[in-house]
Amino acid sequence: MTRKLGCIILAAGKGTRMKSVIPKPLHAVAGRAMVKHVIAVAEALNPDKIVVVIGPDMEQTTEAVRPYATALQSIPNGTGGAALAAKEHFKDFDGDILIMYGDTPLVTTPTLQKMIDIRRQFPAIGLTYSGMRVTAPNTYGRMVMDDDGTLKKIVEFKDASAEEKKITLCNGGIACADGTKLFLWLAQISNDNAQGEYYLTDLPAIARKDNRQTHVVEVPADEMEGINSRVDLALVEKLFQKKLREEHMLGGVTLVDPDTVYFSYDTLIGQDVVIEPNVFFGPNVKVRNNVHILANCHLTGAEIEEGAHVGPFARLRPGSKIGKGAHVGNFVETKNTHIGAGAKAGHLTYLGDAEVGEKANIGAGTITCNYDGFLKHKTKIGKDTFIGSNSALVAPVVIGNGAYIGAGSTISRDVPDNALGITRAPQINKEGWVPEYRQKKIKEQAKKDK
């Protein structure tokens, strides 16, 4: 019979070093709040329960982690106190409980699953802890091992002796415990230490007194990277982006200069896609096969169909859908717009709240005037249309199939199929006007200079 699994995610820290009014767990990594990364990893384990521990006045975090329950750590008294705050949510819970941190978004599901499996494999093991090998100078807690290979104790850096500080096996923080024992052990933690706090790191010694062993699962140090400052946030973002770039390249995407391409956590890209330097993907972007994205593009909430060509310097905003084989060129911006298969918008264009039909050609400088100061309105451009350069289409307006719009026109009424829509003032040429004008201005300037 499979044992139950519960997850406690510690996210009560205010993050004072972040220098922000935003709670630390809500700062984003790859377009998603760090605590939601941790929740997603926990969800992949199919747990019976997830509880997020928060601090006072963290309503934003409560909303962000819904539908999962929150437990309040009313006093910031350490990780042990934070975990103990979730006790009421685990009454009579007879499974395993995984304790995670809301500021470690790089941890992976396989790592957590390994910790769970080892704890369940041997009845004598009451706890499994994540450990990491760190040789560079650091202030992590040190893991003191016993002769039998089990964990004897964890010593916080500030409490460690000079000899203990030489230990390279450091505490990763994440723990998996026998749920029938966890809260009994948590209640025995003392705050007799340099910080005057209740440390989760005291659990191995307490479990040992209860004749239960603690096993260390060594994991890559990158997975345990926590975030306490904006500097840490930038480091974790860099590590996360490296991971995403490798995943996409291994999936069949060519990145001309990988270090300059930034993905969101949910970016979906097909095979044989080429992405040139300096491209940014915000959340909710889907790119089909055989797409070419040229340099210096910004994409958010957009869908690009097979064989499309985007950029350089294109901006696709939420609701944009670029059809099969379509072309969106340099300095073209789209929002809530569907560009049909084979259509082209090559240069200096804004298309907002619009439908562009198949094989339509949008001339340089064209804009859809979709906002009247109060409401947004839609522009419909039929298939095989030709929109002349520097045209303004004042929505709501419909340009029929096969229609032409003369360059420089402001179109505010519907144009029927195969018709020419044009608005222009008559051209007037004044012969000899320029020399006379110049002489007049020269005389005016001479008077002014006196």
Q: pLDDT tens digit string along 285-323?
A: 999 999 999 999 999 999 999 999 999 999 999 999 999
Q: How many CB atoms lie within 10 A of CB 122?
A: 10
Residue 402 has pLDDT above 80, yes or no: yes
DSSP 401-440: TT-EE-TT-EE-S-B-TTPEE---PPP---TTHHHHHHHH
- Residue 111's pLDDT is 96
Provide Rg for the chain, Cα atoms: 31
- Residue 15's pLDDT is 82
3-class DSSP state of 24: helix
- Residue 1's pLDDT is 53
Mean pLDDT of 64-75: 96
Residue 137 has pLDDT above 90, yes or no: no
Structure tokens at 434: 């320029």
Name the amino acid, one letter, at 332.
V
Q: Point out the least confidently predicted range of 39-43, 100-104, 109-113, 133-137.
A: 133-137
Q: What is the largest CA-CA distance in the chain?
A: 106
Residue 183 has pLDDT above 60, yes or no: yes
Containing H/E element for 8? strand 5-10
Mean pLDDT of 228-242: 97
- Residue 173's pLDDT is 93
- Residue 319's pLDDT is 98
Sign of CA dihedral 112, 10, 119, 140: positive
DSSP 212-265: -EEEEEE--GGGG---SSHHHHHHHHHHHHHHHHHHHHHTTEEESSGGG-B--T
First-to-final CA distance of the chain: 103
Q: Active-site positions?
A: 347
Structure tokens at 1: 């019979």
Among 425, 434, 396, 391, smallest CA distance to 412 is for 396
**pLDDT over 90, % of the chain:** 91
From CA 334, how far away is CA 321, in angstroms rounded? 9
Residue 69 has pLDDT above 70, yes or no: yes
Residue 89 phi, psi (nearest 5): -85, -5
Note whether 302 and 320 are within 8 A (CB): yes
Our CA angle for 329, 416, 348, nearest 5°, is 15
- Residue 312's pLDDT is 98
> pTM value?
0.91
